[in-house]
Chains A and B, each alone.
Chain A
Amino acid sequence: MNKLWWKILGSVLVIYTAIAGLLLGVPHLAILNETIRNLYFHVPMWFAMLTLFSISVFYSIKNLLYGKEADDIRAVESVNVGIVFSILGLVTGAVWAKFTWGQFWSFDVKQNFTAVAILLYFAYLVLRNAIDEQQKRAKISAIYNIFAFPMMVVLIMVLPRLSDSLHPGNGGNPGFNSYDLDSRMRAVLYPAFIGWSIIGYWIYTIRFRIRTIENKQNS
């Protein structure tokens, strides 16, 4: 029970946000209409991705300092799960964009820069495949991972704010906080942030355990 409580918490929060996100009332706005509910499923993906990439950077730093193999596996597995969440974020965003902007991909700055940020992590995975020796791979990829993280933050948080974008909250468009007058949306959104981050962390721990067992079998 001691180890189980956060898994139950994560599941309950995600189930709650899925049900409440589809059923509870939302502000009625032109163009957006009911698509505003996508907020509950799109934004938490990025939050979970950021959590996982931060975990990855933490273990990369630990790997550089102490050189343990387990830290390297932790770093790469959290990047793997983080990439899945980032792709889910792009897809949920693209589907929403189809209904509000008219196209799945309209080459908006926000879309372009997040795609580039994902490329950054694909480059990390390619770099890992290019090196055969385990210790060397762990060190060099940890260095690139730490180097890539601030760049990723600049790409998805700073740059889109500087140019015109259709994305809510960017380029002079109002974000959700200006519609959410009675905090109805916050009551679903914030639990979703926590819930999806926990689920992401859970998937990452399972991936880590599978990789550790595989490594033991191979050696």
Chain B
Amino acid sequence: MQLLHQVKYLIKKEVLLEWRSKYALNGVLLYVVSTVFVCFLSFVSIVPVTWNALFWIIMLFASINAVSKGFLHESKGQQLYIYTIASPLALIISKTIYNVLLMMLLTLIALFFYMMVFDYVPQDLGLYIVATVLGSLSFSTIFTMISAIASKAGNGGMLMAILSFPVIIPVLIVLIKLTKNAIDGLDRSVSLDEIGLLLIINALVAAVTLLLFPYLWRD
């Protein structure tokens, strides 16, 4: 009960902080919009397979920027203060949930903008949206943990990329395969394997994160 209360409070704190500055939301949104625009201006017309791959590459870099902000941009004093008032489990759960919410919002906005600019709609839009929701879920669970590790190592951006890319590549491959099915409008039962695998990877990452984060947090 204590944990639930703390998680709720910490999420409220994150949302409030974000709402005051609107830095991550506006910053990453601007990043995505301008990247999509640059891509449109350089490609103009595009085959669906490239359209799909491009979307995930844009989202990959956008989500690294959005999620890594959580731990990397917190000052040492702030971390120490949170450490004294909340349990590490509450902290990691709240950060992950907040990042998942943020990423889902961002990805959905980005997807609609992307479809609008390129004037292309996947054949099975419902499945595509499910895939983007799953994608933002996996991106945020993985990047939250890795950014915590990178911030503790005290060598921000560079380490973040090195540590997270090998972990995110399998997820990205499965996501691109799943969204390719959605673009081709294949029967949804074909994609169940990929959805299951993504959920399993997410559950695995979440379990390992919950087990390991308390050790990481204690200095």
Q: CB within 8 Å of B: which residues of A?
A: 64, 113, 116-117, 119-120, 123, 126-127, 130-131, 136, 139-140, 143-144, 146-148, 150-151, 154-155, 158-159, 162-163
- Complex-state Cα separation, A117 to B166, whole angstroms: 7
Contact of B204 with A150 in the complex, beta carbons under 8 Å: yes
Within 8 A of A (CB), among B136-157: 145, 149, 152-155
A158 touching B197 in the complex, CB below 8 Å, given contacts A140-B153, A140-B216:
yes
Bound Cα distance from A139 to B215, whole angstroms: 8
Partner of A151, one of B153, B159, B167, B209: B167
B residues in contact with A131, CB < 8 Å: 153-155
Q: How far is the CA of A219 from the CA of B167 in the complex (A)?
A: 36
* Residues of chain B within 8 A of A155, CB atoms compared: 170
Q: How far is the CB of A184 from chain B (nearest CB, A)?
A: 36
A-B contact pairs, 10 of them (CB 8 A): A64-B212, A123-B162, A127-B159, A131-B154, A131-B155, A143-B149, A143-B215, A144-B149, A148-B167, A154-B204
Measured in the bound complex, the distance between the Cα atoms of B163 and A155 in whole Å is 15
Give the chain B neighbours of A150 by CB distance below 8 A.
204, 208
Q: Which residues of B lie under 8 Å from residue A146 when comparing CB positions?
A: 208, 212
Q: A150-B204, A154-B201 are in contact. Are A64 and B170 (CB under 8 A)?
A: no
Asked if A116 and B169 make an inter-chain contact with CB atoms under 8 angstroms apart, the answer reads yes
**Interface of chain B, helix or strand or loop or mixed?**
helix
Our pick among B162, B194, B204, B208 for the contact of A126 (Cβ within 8 Å) is: B162
Q: Is the CB–CB distance between B216 and A139 below 8 Å?
A: yes
Contact of B153 among A113, A117, A119, A130 (CB under 8 A): A130
**CB nearest to B209 among chain A residues:** A147
List chain B residues, Cβ under 8 A from A119. 165-166
Contact yes or no, A130 B155, CB < 8 A: yes
Chain A residue, CB-CB nearest to B177: A163
Chain B residues, CB < 8 A from A130: 153, 155, 159
Q: Which residues of chain A are within 8 angstroms of B167 by Cβ–Cβ distance? A: 120, 147-148, 151
